[in-house]
Structure 1
Amino acid sequence: MDGCFLKGPYGGQLLTAVGMDANNKMYPLAIAVVGVENYDNWSWFLGLLVQDLRISNSKNWCIMTDKQKGLVQAVRDKLPEAEHRCCAQHLYSNFKLSHRGLALKDRLWRCARASYVNQFKREMELLRQQSELAHQWLADKDPKTWSRSHFRVGLDCDILVNNMCESFNAVLLKARSLPIIGMLQTIYLYLLRRMEINREAMAKHEGLLCPRIFEILEKAKKDQCMCIASYAGTNRYQVSCPFGEQFVVDMAGKTCSCRKWQLRGIPCGHAVACINRRHEQPEQHVSHTYLKTTYVASYDPVLNPINGPNLWEHINLQPMKPPNFGRSPGRPKKMRKKGPGEEARTSKSCVNPNKPHKVSKVGTKMSCSLCKKYGHNKRSCPTNKKSANETGAA
């Protein structure tokens, strides 16, 4: 879940809820236009979402947010048993304000990607050895919200970032400058086209699994080449890996002590080694969440077509008035306010934020195409001037 601002003269916020389909791709669920981003509006939005999705038991749901204003408490109230995760990229953006450096960044992401508790503790100890302050800052954050080692198993979801909402908001960039009705119609047409394209693409796909899931499983098949599975009885195996690592795989419960199988619902390399020893197909042990049939079923519901204003029913109510217009001082802004890290990246990488492909030449060293030396170009090259003088004298 995420929120983004509208660019029209009246301002406002667009609240979005985006899910994941069986191919690990973006699946927009709901949008809403509100005046401000606060607890009341998020609570109203979540209440309608729970009602539309018919969520009676929130224990089987996972919510990923950037901890917007009022959203954390709204999730606690409307989805009390759901697992609420914080975007790891958002966490790192706050972390690097006071703890900079590539080594600390790499260690934080290693802590976030750790799949079991002992691995998480080992990475945290290495972080403490690098920086006591950075370790203390990260230790104050609940690992259940940002590290895979503490995520709930059985949800078939191990994502760490909220990129899908960010991608959806980026697609709606131009639409957010339109009036309300035009914006909603533009978003609706985009959703119609997206669902049609996805249906046609999956109809051409042959196979039991969705394409992206097939790629993940193929990578696990390559990883299993370095694992040795030893049968221990009662459908349990001991898997030996390089660097002295050792894990236990339970084929009956579809679990591995590295927890990757339980987190994603896709067999890890250790599990694939055991499956191959049993002369079975790894595809048969993937969760039903990622099957092609599940994907097709999720895109079966169609969005009802809508008539234009010429066929709208006339009612005897007063016409709806626009929101109160309050002009902010200065020139109207179209681009959102960048964070500290984003501002530095933008200023160095491009001259105009509207033209991200145009690279700035600030800070680059000028080189001469004639003598291949730095500090001048061919117009002011001493070699070129010398040859020109000799030619003139002759």
Structure 2
Amino acid sequence: MEVHIYDSLGRGAYEKFQSEGIFSKFERQVANYLDKIKYWARRNIPRIPLNMQFIYEENVPQQSGHLGDCGVFLCMFMEQLVSGQPIRVLIDPKNAALEFRLRMAKIIWGSCLGPIALSSVLKMSTNIGRSFSQLPIFLHNLQRTNPNTFTAIKKTDTNRFQFCFVALGCVIRTFLRCMIPLIYVGYLPLIGSYLTTMYFTVALDGNHEPLLLAIGLGTLECEESWRWFMMRLKDCLGDDIEVGFISNLCDKIEFGVQSAYPDSYHGYCPKDIARKICDCVGHNSTEVESLFWKSCNAYSVDDFYLCLERLQTACRKSPFFSLLRSPIYWLDDIPISKWTRAFFPKIRYNVKSIDVPEILQIIFRREFPITTIIELITTSIQSKYVERADVAGRFSGGLTPYIESKVQKCVNKSYNWNARCLYGDTYQVDGNFATTNVQLERRVCSCGKWQKSGIPCAHAIACLRTRTSESINKLVDYKFTSYVYRLAYGSELVNTIPSHVHWEIPNETVVLLPPSMQ
């Protein structure tokens, strides 16, 4: 019996198995298995020795690339098995997987889309490379139709594309005038032959809805690319703005933020830290995860350290405890002001995280020409402005619905609390077995919630009941008012980019070649 060995990693394993007698053991195991299932008796044939001869096949597909080709080889083997053809290939073995990938792609796309649609897909693939040469003209017309739009392109000495940056003028104006001065910085890997990374920044409006602030597209993700992206963001926002940043745990983003805004606050999203904790202690440890969130959500310093001590104690128990160190030892290296409410500065507005806009999730799933990516994002922002301007026109109260619901919860919570004036605007509130001090004029409460969120806490609202002439709305940060929300979206508009046949050609020609294929 001949047994043919197809090894995509070369002869090493074959020679090792042969010298160690693995093949002989394999033959005995097969023989024992056939006896166990009564193979010979069921077929009514005499038992014969297997006499296996193990033959190493030359010129078979070989692994190439850092991602491996195991799945591709499985498909190749199954195809040859059902067709009765040999697995050997005539082309270079190291290119066999790539050739088969291309053939599979054409078969799959052709069966799903049909020949006409398939030709369109192949045409788009060609257009992806050509779109880089059109990018300078495209951005020129984007700026022409949307005044004060900021764009930038970085290229190599040989005029090949490296990075680009885009921030719509109306979005920048909206952020500077009407939005919380806190920016989420993130990135997504891109599928494709040219671009590898999309950089983006997102901000929150007064109704806690995310709005895409700026994007960058690049051929690599490194410290230098982050520094370039953040410097371009600083160019369009200006030097005299006080702004804070949040992001996932990423040293490269930290480097970029500190390079452009060395004096600004930069915190982390607790969700990202919680995921890392779950990876370290196991996803079934609900106690550790729960204690982390209690530490993160604590407003007072005393409550925070109490919860943190419980978290550390839980991690010292079996099965997490190690004689060398705690599984979350790295948490001690992260400044607590970056992830816990008790130490959030006011610039963070008590925001733990900001959602990524849906359009970015769509773009990152497939490859598009670079001009199409920017156009899709521009169209998405345009629709957000139209939708939110329509919603703002139906606001009935002085606050946005999100903030109004927050205030109402505080009102309901404070009904049975007693507040008494100590002197001037300073009050003492008794409630929930605790005593809290409030200073109305300074908008400060010893519980820490008011000054961190910009929304009066239940203690402040209890004090207002003793001063019936004052409105709660006046104590809410003005960026949470419905007036500012209407100003944000009702006074601005994203203009559609004209068809390419109507593009204006700039006087100065910019030569831009596509980057090297990844």
Quickly name the TM-score band, shorter chain normalised.
0.7 to 0.9
Q: What's 2:216 paired with?
A: 32
2:509 and 2:288 mapped to 1: Cα distance? 60
Q: Does structure 2 conserve the Cα–Cα contact (< 8 Å) formed by 1:116 and 1:149?
A: yes
Is the 1:112–1:160 contact (alpha carbons within 8 Å) kept by the matching residues of 2? no
Query: Are positions 1:311 and 2:502 aligned together?
Result: yes
From 309, 327, 332, the equivalent of 1:139 is 332
- 1:111 aligns to 2:111 (yes or no): no
User: Displacement of 1:170 after TM fit?
Assistant: 2.3
Cα pair distance change 1:136/1:181, threshold 3 Å: closer
Match of 1:205 in 2: 395
Give 1:287's aligned residue.
Answer: 477
Per mean C-alpha deviation after superposition, the further-off stretch among 138-147 and 100-109 is: 138-147
Say which is worse superposed, 94-103 or 302-311, in terms of deviation. Answer: 302-311
Mapped to 1, the partners of 2:486 and 2:296 lie a distance apart of 32
TM-score by length of 1: 0.76
Letter in 1 for 2:214: A
Q: Residue 165 in 1 paired to residue 318 in 2?
A: no
Contact 1:2–1:68, Cα closer than 8 Å, also in 2: no
Is the 1:127–1:135 Cα contact (8 Å) retained in structure 2? Answer: no
In the TM superposition, residue 311 of structure 1 has moved relative to its aligned partner by 1.8
Of the candidates 250, 271, 289, which is equivalent to residue 439 of structure 2? 250
- For residues 201 and 20 of structure 1, what CA distance do their matches in structure 2 show? 16
Match of 1:148 in 2: 341
For structure 2, the residue ranges without an aligned partner over 5 or more in a row are 1-184, 317-325
**CA distance, structure 2, for counterparts of residue 137 and residue 45 of structure 1:** 28
Quote the Cα distance in structure 1 between the aligned partners of 2:328 and 2:512: 54
Number of equivalenced pairs: 320
How far did 1:135 drift?
Answer: 6.7
Contact 2:400 2:482 in 1 (8 A): yes
Query: What's the Cα RMSD here?
Result: 2.0
Aligned-residue offset at 1:129: 3.0
Counterpart of 2:372 in structure 1 is 182
Candidates 174, 177, 189, aligned match of 1:5: 189
Query: Within 2, Cα distance between the matches of 1:118 and 1:103?
Result: 20
User: Is 1:322 aligned to 2:511, yes or no?
Assistant: no
Contact 1:227–1:241 (CA under 8 A) maintained in structure 2:
yes
1:312 deviates by 2.1
For 1:289 and 1:65, the matched residues in 2 are separated by: 22
1:35-93 deviation per Cα after TM superposition (whole angstroms, max 9, x unaligned): 11212221121112112122414xx3110111335210121121122110111111111
Q: 2:308 aligned to 113, 124, 131, which one?
A: 124
| CA 302–166 in structure 1, closer or farther in 2 if over 3 Å, else same | closer
Q: Which residue of 2 aligns with 1:79?
A: 261
Do structure 1's residue 263 and structure 2's residue 452 form an aligned pair? yes
In the other structure, the counterpart of 1:355 is none
1:67 — aligned with what?
Answer: 249
- Structure 2 CA distance for aligned equivalents of residues 197 and 317 of structure 1: 38
Contact 1:249 1:271 in 2 (8 A): yes
Stretch deviating more after TM superposition (180-189 or 275-284) = 275-284
Aligned to 1:277: 466
Paired with 2:510 and 2:450, the residues of 1 have a C-alpha distance of 58
Partner of 1:240: 430
Name the amino acid aligned to 1:145.
Answer: K
- Greater mean deviation of Cα atoms: 213-222 or 73-82: 73-82
Which stretch shows the higher mean deviation, 105-114 or 298-307? Answer: 298-307
Give yes or no for contact 1:17–1:165 (8 Å, CA) kept in 2: no
Q: Contact conserved, 1:210 with 1:292, CA < 8 A, in 2?
A: yes
Query: Conserved in 1, the CA contact under 8 Å of 2:244 and 2:348?
Result: no
Task: Give me the whole-angstrom Cα distance separating, in 1, the residues matched to 2:424 and 2:348.
Answer: 25
Confirm or deny that 1:47 pairs with 2:238.
Answer: no
The change in CA–CA distance for 1:325 and 1:188 in structure 2 (over 3 A counts) is: same
Distance in 1 (CA, whole Å) between partners of 2:504 and 2:387 is 32
**Residue of structure 1 in register with 2:240 after alignment:** 56
Q: CA deviation at 1:302?
A: 2.4
- Superposed displacement of residue 226, structure 1: 4.1
Deviation for aligned residue 1:228: 2.0
Q: 1:110 to 1:221 in 2, by over 3 A?
A: same
- Long gaps (5+) in structure 1: 327-394
The alpha carbon displacement at 1:5 in A equals: 1.5
Which residue identity does 1:159 align to in structure 2?
V
Deviation at 1:297, TM superposition (A): 2.3
| Shift in CA distance, 255/167, structure 1 to aligned 2, threshold 3 Å | farther
Q: How far off is 1:265 after superposition?
A: 0.5
In the alignment, the residues of structure 2 paired with residue 291 and residue 21 of structure 1 have an alpha-carbon distance, to the nearest angstrom, of 10
Q: C-alpha distance in 2, partners of 1:92/1:168? A: 26
The answer (yes or no) to whether the contact 1:38–1:69 under 8 Å persists in 2 is no
- Determine which of 206, 218, 228 is the counterpart of 1:22: 206
Distance 1:14 1:89 in 2: 21
> Does 1 or 2 have the higher relative contact order (CA < 8 Å, sep 6+)?
2
Does structure 2 conserve the Cα–Cα contact (< 8 Å) formed by 1:156 and 1:265? no
The one-letter code of the counterpart of 2:343 is H
Q: Distance in 1 between matches of 2:420 and 2:483?
A: 34
Identical-residue share of aligned pairs (%): 22
Q: Look at both structures and tell me which one has the larger radius of gyration over its CA atoms.
A: 2
Q: Is the 8 A contact 2:301 2:343 kept in 1?
A: yes
Q: For the residues of structure 1 that align with 2:246 and 2:452, how far apart are their CA atoms?
A: 15
TM-score by length of 2: 0.59
1:157-203 Cα offsets, whole Å, 9 max, x none, are 11112x423656325445x5211111211111111111111111101
Q: 1:98 to 1:166 in 2, by over 3 A?
A: farther
